[in-house]
Structure 1
């Protein structure tokens, strides 16, 4: 995204690494220059390659190659873990989901970085915390994320603030216009964990403590969150086909006019705006009694412990997360940047009217637990909720939540 870095950048990076070890959490093995591979999830908006081309034009001896993994976070993680467990040096810079920091750090797959080498004080504070584990910086925030409610302004006079309003409006629109009501990401994968976590938070609850050491799921509040989804499926204002939706499926269903409301990340705004124009509206997620709480998402950039060109990898991360490139992350990729000042830029707000709402949502979002066992916790949540949504049984929503709590406690006890 940014203009080419000056040659002096390498000197600054090296100097920053040499003097900020203990202060920033320490760093290791940042030597080595040469070609690198940047591995990340599939670029569905085709904005990445031009940014890499800018780097490559300025660094012919340190070119970066993009390696795209599947769109789903679960599949990305599986491929990265397989590579790192084999101690392969094929990957240099890793595009990590914010929930993977603890696991990758705990297993020694990524190296710690010096805080002083990056302008973290100009980033959104909650976003920086996603890159920190046990007091050390293990990655650099690249994009942030918070779930938003997309809606059709030609069908909705005032966007819903509560689940009850969402239900009523969805039912009315479905009856009057023959358009489905609401969907999120309800396939059994990380997206369902996020959607259910947001529902629990929006009902005033919490699933697991921030440090991942305590299960705090109140079966009653967990049951209320599950009942919200079950009621929508039962009454038809959440379409049955949404049980197979990930981010892209729900985005396409909304922008193609098959849904009046959709929960999704901000990257869907650009394509939806191009398709719907002024018919597109964005607001905060609704909750039980008022605006809801999103799960904090996003991606961080880390350096593989097995990379042979770690100095180049760090220079590339500095380039890729600089202010100019972060502006392009938003304008060309429709992804939320991590620099706070970009959310207050009048020109950007004019082009992306949802920025003030997004900033508010990010600052109010809840991070997922920081634990090396996060993947196991997420699998339990997603599978329990998916089973309830796909196979309604006499078991109450409260009972499902109670059973889920027991399984989560077992994981934490054995970690």
Structure 2
């Protein structure tokens, strides 16, 4: 542990970025590929309606991610702060606090989703072909929710150790398996939507096995034993307090996606298909940006725990500048190559041509996403759950929902496409105010986490 702690406390930000953020980006890309490749393969082999069906299933997956985020985000923040303070006892106690709550809650979600899949999808705007395809996909996928939640949740602890490369390799194992099996199950074996779901479940199972293989190895900072699988109840309030903002983030995205799918369905099936595709692409490309912030999290947490507030500020600015530069580059890619990107998922040239303008408009705020990611992570890493939740809720709910309801009423369908980027702009301005205040506090000589 001492070598990792010293690295986080003393290594230059450039080296830390290379060793933590780049693997973090790659690892998050790997996670994002799970559902993205499902969308691509079903779009090419089943049809455009299948893309919307997978997107509606993704809204339920986000609820599963909210469950794992509640415990994994809080535990990883606590883990990195304990590492900075040299508290091995706390580090060893966190695995059980992640494993059991996530597994049990995911099993409950499986029972609900399998039983009520038709009603859930209908509420999201699914009708006729989209509804039929969505039921096939979601019911089978729900049987693997426990693997899809516990694997990523435990991987949070590996990233909190500062072992981003190991975390990325484990994630890659599951994703590559999924990518290989998708075309075989969907096309070759003729399983269609159920084939996409089964490939995902198998990949996620290998993900979980990879996590446990790491914790049993000498590379892990956790001293694994039977006690590791016990819930340490005194730690749970802090885990939930900090992880609340991570949970809210996923739930808010699920609500946001549900609103977008439902409202776009009221215009036309083509509008719904393009909205589903645009949201999936946005989510996938935002993931590596947020991966930078996950690389930033152990640096912030360890230095905060050690009282190195100057390094906290330095890390925030360094990682934030790089994340912003990458976000601007991705934004340019969206604006210049919209038809090409849409054609990955949609084989109907008419839908691609009509949807390119809407796609560009929807993703016009992506250049701010580097700032949004590091703003949120600053508060999560420092244990400032309230401010982190405010930013998260601001982005997904407080600004977006009023705009999504008001702008279509004023401007028609184009107002719906405008509501998302305008909501992002509002949260960036709000975030600047919160971050400026926090960075001022960190400059105080006797700052102690006020």
TM-score where L is the length of structure 2: 0.23
Ranked by relative contact order (alpha carbons within 8 Å, sequence separation 6 or more), the top structure is: 1
Structure that is richer in helix per residue: 2
